[in-house]
């Protein structure tokens, strides 16, 4: 009798343990890996969060993150989240209008109110600064690093695409756009990629130029935000959707922005990933 009771008790405990284990393990096709609501769907898969209190974000082609902290530092983190550079003087001319990180070896921090661009190296060490007024350039809204490590800018005073060196010396300029177009765009962003320069006006689309400043064509994608070119794809966000345009095949795809993307202050698509700046850090997703 004693042996039977012992056997029965052991069997009962085994059943309880099995039931408890099954209660904690979801069925295979309903596995929840992330807190509710699930941060993965048919198009986006959650990768990780880099915690911190940041006010601005960008990411380059090598998956390096550039973050302005609440303490007014510009930090560079590699793809593992490790700090590889800090620039402490980011507020010298007030809040930056934007930071161009298209070349991981050379960053441009632009202060439009002061017509000044600060040039940093890959470790965020100060290399130089240019005051555009001293270079006789008086109305610049946007700029970017060029393929040959100089600087593209659009001068809204004479409506020309210009290229200057790190000392502000003029190297090249296009024809006055007013002689080329009936309705002259005012680009808010410049991207240099694969033999072409893309200038984007939200009301008129993308204007594409070659490296000699010759106008090539127009891509009529309007009202896009947070645009980027990564690989051979052009990305932009509009009306709750992410758009992906294949530059060679001209294939356009769009993705509905999921609910778990909400409450972000900035968003960027690069290297097949989406980066979301939120109040507690940067969330990273792959695009499936």
pLDDT band at 19 (very low <50, low <70, confident <90, very high): very low
pLDDT at 70 over 80: yes
pLDDT at 219 over 90: yes
Residue 182 is predicted with a pLDDT of 86
pLDDT band at 38 (very low <50, low <70, confident <90, very high): low
Stretch 207-215: mean pLDDT, rounded?
A: 92
The 10s digit of each residue's pLDDT in 80-117 is 999 999 999 999 999 999 999 999 999 999 999 999 99
Sorted by where each starts, the structural domains of the chain and their CATH numbers stand as 2-287 (2.120.10.30)
Contact 252, 244 (CB under 8 A): yes
Residue 1 is predicted with a pLDDT of 42
Cross-strand pairs, 21: none
The 10s digit of each residue's pLDDT in 133-165 is 999 999 999 999 999 999 999 999 999 999 999
């Amino acid at each position: 009798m004693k042996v039977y009771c012992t056997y029965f008790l052991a069997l009962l405990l085994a059943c309880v343990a099995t039931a408890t284990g099954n209660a904690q393990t979801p069925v295979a096709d309903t596995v929840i890996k992330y807190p509710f609501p699930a941060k993965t769907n048919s198009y986006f898969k959650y990768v990780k969060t880099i915690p911190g209190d940041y006010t601005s974000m960008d990411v380059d082609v090598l998956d390096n993150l550039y973050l302005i902290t609440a303490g007014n530092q510009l930090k560079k983190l590699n793809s593992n989240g490790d700090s590889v550079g800090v620039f402490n003087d980011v507020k010298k001319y007030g809040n930056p209008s934007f930071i161009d990180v298209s070349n991981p070896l050379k960053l441009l921090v632009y202060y439009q109110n002061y017509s000044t661009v600060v040039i940093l190296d890959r470790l965020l060490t100060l290399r130089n600064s240019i005051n555009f007024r001293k270079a006789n350039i008086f109305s610049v809204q946007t700029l970017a690093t060029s393929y040959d490590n100089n600087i593209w800018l659009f001068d809204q005073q004479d409506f020309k695409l210009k290229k200057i060196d790190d000392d502000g010396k003029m190297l090249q300029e296009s024809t006055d756009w007013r002689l080329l177009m009936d309705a002259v765009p005012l680009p808010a962003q410049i991207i240099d990629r694969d033999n072409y320069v893309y200038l984007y006006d939200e009301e008129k689309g993308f204007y594409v130029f070659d490296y000699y400043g010759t106008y090539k064509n127009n891509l009529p994608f309007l009202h896009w935000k947070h645009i980027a070119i990564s690989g051979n794809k052009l990305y932009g966000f509009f009306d709750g959707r992410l758009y992906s345009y294949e530059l060679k095949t001209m294939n356009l795809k769009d993705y509905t922005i999921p609910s778990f993307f909400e409450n972000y202050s900035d968003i960027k698509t690069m290297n097949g990933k989406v980066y979301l700046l939120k109040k507690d850090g940067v969330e990273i997703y792959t695009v499936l």
